A and B are shown apart, each in its own frame.
Chain A
Amino acid sequence: MSVLRAAARPVAAAILMLVLAACAGGPQFSQMQDRLPAASPDNGRIFVYRSTVLGAALQPSVKINGDVVGSAVPQGFFYIDRPAGDYEISTATEVTRTLSLRLDPGQTRYVRLGVSMGFFVGHVYPELVDDAAGLAEIKDCHYTGK
């Protein structure tokens, strides 16, 4: 029993290290919110964030209309400016999950990346959230954009 207990500490520490290493490390949204450049008037802005560390090793690419625009990094966020129009945001692990939304000129949308159980690996899925909820959840996330 004591052998198991002795082994548990380094294993737990290793897991914690892995989780921390998998998390985003850039500046927090709350620190850079005021310094973010404004989107041009014809464009809208989409913030994509993942507030949970659940399934931290799982970090699929995030695509918008088929183009990779970022990754689903735990506690990370990035944003994309796009002309007003219709967009499909997708993530893929063992399945592809999509979110379709309309972006109006000057509009800001918040897309949360949730994590759910899968068959072999977990699923990361994009969901559209209200501005208030998005702003509250993204503030502690770290910037992962380029």
Chain B
Amino acid sequence: MRRIVLGAMLLLGGCAFDVIHVQQVPASLEQISGPAPEWTLSQDVTVHLREGFAVPLKAGTTWRAIGRIAQGDVFRTGDQVVTVEASNVYEAALVTKGDFVVGFYLIVEHTFTAADPQIEIKRVIRSP
């Protein structure tokens, strides 16, 4: 009986304190030389992560490259707030490889968290 109570307490405690951590790996952002590539998202997309909440990206938002990490090119937008959220919330930039979103770069933490699955996006290229 005591074990059941203890197990229930741990389970409830786990729910209440929802210790869901976003898996992150260190990422070094390299500046890009020349004009920053820019594109506009053509349709709404929801990017899912292994842990935490899905991240919605809105159609019509324009994204500008801010650099490159080992996993892909990093883009920010001023048209919507982008955060990665589990127990804590992190402001993030989008990481793409070709036409696929591969994850997010956590701007303050200088880390990368992967999309699961990677998702293809439709976009209109604005510059180069």
Q: What residues make up the interface of A, taking CB atoms closer than 8 Å to B? A: 86-88, 94-95, 97-102, 117-120, 125-130
Contact = CB atoms under 8 A, between A and B. Distances in A.
A99 B15 CA distance: 20
Contact of B12 (A87, A100, A119, A129): A119
A94 B16 CA distance: 9
Contact of A119 (B13, B80, B83, B106): B13
B17 A100 contact: no
Given A86-B107, A101-B108, A126 B89 contact: yes
Given A88-B108, A100-B109, A129-B81, A118 B16 contact: yes
A128 B83 contact: yes
Nearest to A133: B81
A130 B80 contact: yes
B90 A100 contact: yes
A94 B89 contact: no
B91 to A, nearest CB: 4
Interface residues of B, number: 18
Contact of B91 (A120, A125, A128): A128
Contact of B16 (A117, A126, A128): A117
A99 B85 CA distance: 9
B88 interface: yes
A52 B45 CA distance: 29
B31 interface: no
Interface string B89-112: 111000000000000001111000
Contacts of A129: 81
Contacts of B89: 97-100, 125-128
